[in-house]
Structure 1
Amino acid sequence: MAYSILSCTTLPANTAHQQSPQFSDGKFRNAAPREAPGLGKTLGILWRFMTQKPADAVPDQPPQVMPLTPADLHAAPDLSLWRLGHSTLLLKLQGGFWLTDPVFSERASPFSFMGPKRFHAPPIAIDELPPITGVILSHDHYDHLDHDAIQQLAPKVQHFVTPLGVGDRLIAWGVPAAKVQQFDWWQGTTLDGVRLVATPAQHFSGRGLQDGNRTLWASWVIQAGDARIFFSGDTGYFDGFKAIGERFGPFDLTLIETGAYDAQWPDVHMQPEQSLQAHLDVKGRHLLPIHNGTFDLALHAWTDPFERITALADTAGVPLVAPVMGERLDIRAPERATPWWRKVQPTRAGSPSTGRSAALAPQSDANG
């Protein structure tokens, strides 16, 4: 993965930013103040990453992947979905293809030689993807906004839909401005028959030391015909989920962050119990947990998100879907989860490192 210095450029605020209720003193903010980690807590988190990493944080062998071909995609019916890894999903809506947070690089990092490394290859390469109607981005962290993927995708994508400021990054990277649309919370558009609305999330942003919270983060409502999908992006648990459910629910399928959590950063990532509650708050039917199974970004076992959310959903009577990477789902009637992750052995103590890094742990910034 080539690294471009543009990925860390400090972005100037434009008029749309300054008019946003989320923007103050040069930065975007959450609706409820987030506790800034501070230098001491940040150093403590880094120390834990270096000294307390569990042996089972990484699988011993790549998880199962179902390879996809262009023929598979074209033959699939409308309202199909494929999980490609982490928070990257491919959806077929109104006859067109849509991608969320496309990350195809080997590492979720500004560097090609260090940082969180993929557990598995993507089920399909970018050059094999069909023309893409739209890319939906939730925020600009490296595990959600992949510079090289954007460069490769740009010629075949009609629309990039982003929160405020994230589109400015794409334009700085050479994406034609005519392809980019940026939105504040509760704003949206309809493109090729698909309605998109940026909705609140509780998180933070930035790709370097000087650009913390210069761009907005968001969840997304995706509506195609009478089918509704909720994509959470990255977020802590907050009362905004209930507001989203009241305005746009119920949802046929929720794509909800369930992974890379820890008690030390509760404001920006949800525990599985909170992921389930967020699903209920937005009035979801089927729950697909994302933000897991591809990168080692926290201190829990790599299977922990799957096991915990499976048990919680079963107790609550919530239909859970957790497809193998590359497996096709029917958005309206997806098949229930099978525990494919139990067939993959965790890394044994003393196994080779996968180049982990705490680069994606909460940053020490003042983004209230």
Structure 2
Amino acid sequence: MRHSDSPPDSASAPPPSPTQRSGRWRAPWPEEDRSFLDLLRWGLSRRPAPWPVKLPVAPCAPPPERVHGHSLRVTLVGHSTVLLQTGGANLLTDPVWSERTGPFGRGPRRVRAPGLELDALPSLDAVLVTHNHYDHLDLPTLAALARAHDPLFLVPPGDARLVRRAAPRARIRELHWWEQQELAGVRVHAAPARHWSARGLLDRRRSLWCSFVLEAACGPVVFFGDTGFGLGEPFGMIRERFGPARLALLPIGAYEPRWFMAPAHMDPDEAVRAVRILEAQHALALHHGVFQLTDEAHDDPASALDQALLRHGLKPGAFAAPDPGAAWTLD
């Protein structure tokens, strides 16, 4: 079954991949880069909604050591950090435990504490990092995870050198789109996303960005750290290659103002459209209510998500937006 949001079939063609031009990565579809003047315009015109200094978090109970068989255990730490346990493997996505996300220990301060303490994590097999922005690739957290767990770090091309600065002895593999890594009980694939990369002013697009798809007995699990929607290309390609998702983990925040954010960040309505393209059985909203990165209020994304679900005729429970600390098991 295909929805009207789905791109045309392209099963006979090889999957599109990004290319490097003069050392910078370009996606296989038209892109809209924002210029310094655009950034300046946003900075001079923005009227960000006020956010609370702190919001309460109900920490969850310690997760199990392992989850086997067809079960999938999901623990939302916060922002884009999720502990996924299935097939006997423990995987952590875009881990950020730092108080701030930015260079030199500055940048937006978290208003919600992590829903799980760092030392409460079970033994980790792999850490998945989608791109090098500070709210997704947090070097102090990666260094702590390397010391405590010695996991395999799966990162896009160009980011291994960055991770090694924090964890010189870490086990790291760079995955291009459509490459895969076998783990015990889980196969991890790097997949497309509509985004970009940079840690400073001069390294824009010098490293790649991606999403991830987990193949396991529980069914496909799709994780996006950051992505724009565009024409829905990444979601259509993933659906075509892996089938309907058992669970989709999708960002819904950091979307205002739309004129500036649309190429790189979905809004809640677009996230619902992505769920429909992926034909996901369950969906979990990420990337909202923890760090104030853009102009919407802290609770706007969840409220807009409820409205989008009504517009698209989906039940609210089909796409949940819980607070950090939420955990559940899909059997």
Aligned equivalents of 1:117, 1:331: Cα separation in 2: 32
Task: Compute the displacement of 1:172 (Å).
Answer: 3.5
Q: What is the match of residue 138 of structure 2?
A: 146
Task: Compute the displacement of 1:307 (Å).
Answer: 0.7
Aligned equivalents of 1:48, 1:287: Cα separation in 2: 34
The residue type paired with residue 261 of structure 1 is Y
Q: What is the match of residue 42 of structure 2?
A: 45
The residue type paired with residue 40 of structure 2 is L
The residue type paired with residue 312 of structure 1 is A
Deviations 1:166-198 (A, max 9, x none): 223212333436x11111111112111211111
The answer on whether the counterparts of 2:128 and 2:153 sit within 8 Å (CA) in structure 1 is yes
The answer on whether the counterparts of 1:31 and 1:202 sit within 8 Å (CA) in structure 2 is no
The answer on whether the counterparts of 2:67 and 2:86 sit within 8 Å (CA) in structure 1 is no
Q: What is the match of residue 319 of structure 2?
A: 320
Q: What is the match of residue 294 of structure 1?
A: 290
Give the alignment partner of residue 244 of structure 2, picking from 250, 272, 281.
250
Q: What is the match of residue 10 of structure 1?
A: none
1:109 aligns with 2:102: yes
Task: Compute the displacement of 1:95 (Å).
Answer: 2.2
Q: What is the match of residue 83 of structure 2?
A: 90
1:25 aligns with 2:22: yes
Deviations 1:176-221 (A, max 9, x none): 36x1111111111211121111111111101112211111000111
1:280 aligns with 2:272: no
Give the alignment partner of residue 80 of structure 1, picking from 70, 73, 83.
73
The answer on whether the counterparts of 1:253 and 1:331 sit within 8 Å (CA) in structure 2 is no
Aligned equivalents of 2:150, 2:236: Cα separation in 1: 33
Q: What is the match of residue 200 of structure 2?
A: 208
Task: Compute the displacement of 1:38 (Å).
Answer: 1.9
Aligned equivalents of 2:307, 2:44: Cα separation in 1: 31
Give the alignment partner of residue 172 of structure 1, picking from 148, 155, 165.
165
Deviations 1:132-159 (A, max 9, x none): 1110110010000001001100121321
Q: What is the match of residue 4 of structure 2?
A: none
1:232 aligns with 2:231: no
Task: Compute the displacement of 1:60 (Å).
Answer: 5.5
Aligned equivalents of 2:224, 2:66: Cα separation in 1: 28
Describe the SS at the equivalent of 1:184: coil
TM-score, scaled relative to structure 2: 0.86
The residue type paired with residue 93 of structure 2 is T
The residue type paired with residue 45 of structure 1 is W
* Equivalences for residues 178-217 of structure 1 within 5 A: 179-217=171-209
Describe the SS at the equivalent of 1:240: helix
Describe the SS at the equivalent of 2:92: strand
Q: CA RMSD in A?
A: 1.9
Deviations 1:28-47 (A, max 9, x none): 11222322222221101122
Q: What is the match of residue 346 of structure 1?
A: none
In structure 1, stretches of 5+ residues that fail to align are: 1-19, 333-368
The residue type paired with residue 80 of structure 2 is S
Deviates more, 1:312-321 or 1:78-87: 312-321
The answer on whether the counterparts of 2:254 and 2:261 sit within 8 Å (CA) in structure 1 is no
Q: What is the match of residue 270 of structure 1?
A: 266
Q: What is the match of residue 328 of structure 2?
A: 329
The residue type paired with residue 254 of structure 1 is A
The residue type paired with residue 158 of structure 2 is G
1 or 2 for the larger relative contact order (CA 8 Å, sep ≥6)? 1
Task: Compute the displacement of 1:96 (Å).
Answer: 2.9
Deviates more, 1:280-289 or 1:133-142: 280-289
Aligned equivalents of 1:48, 1:146: Cα separation in 2: 29
Q: What is the match of residue 350 of structure 1?
A: none
Q: What is the match of residue 302 of structure 2?
A: 306
Identity %: 34
Aligned equivalents of 1:65, 1:109: Cα separation in 2: 26
The residue type paired with residue 305 of structure 2 is I
Distance 1:268 1:278, change over 3 A: same
The answer on whether the counterparts of 2:65 and 2:123 sit within 8 Å (CA) in structure 1 is no
